Amino acid sequence: QVQLVESGGGLVQAGGSLRLSCAASGRTFSSYAMGWFRQAPGKEREFVAAINWNGDNTNYADSVKGRFTISRDNAKNTVYLQMNSLKPDDTAVYYCAVARYSSIYDYTKAYGYWGQGTQVTVSS
């Protein structure tokens, strides 16, 4: 059974940092792109960042460029999201996902497996 488990969320003050992790189990995802999305209350789930199968290509939403960094460790079947200079607008539930393909995409339908999410709250 495929399982994605996010961790690392929490409450942080504006300007602070958090590092999210997403551990995948049940199968190996080293051939597939992985991504992070987020959903704030009352809003649609939105793309945050994605990384291709071997980590040499990444893509970010404009709102997080220069502040967030996505990376992966295929040996550990894990993807990370380093979040720096956090803002109150970054408050959301963050979800990791495994794409259906090796290349990166920024829309939810390109992703076949999803975690349960981890809450990130940034206070002003």
Question: For residue 64, which amino acid is it?
Answer: V
pLDDT at 28: 82
Question: For residue 49, which amino acid is it?
Answer: A
Q: Please report, in angstroms and rounded to a whole number, the separation of the first and last CA atoms in the chain.
A: 40
pLDDT at 89: 97
Question: For residue 1, which amino acid is it?
Answer: Q
Give the residues of the chain that fall short of pLDDT 50.
none
Rounded Cα gap, residues 69 and 81, in angstroms? 6
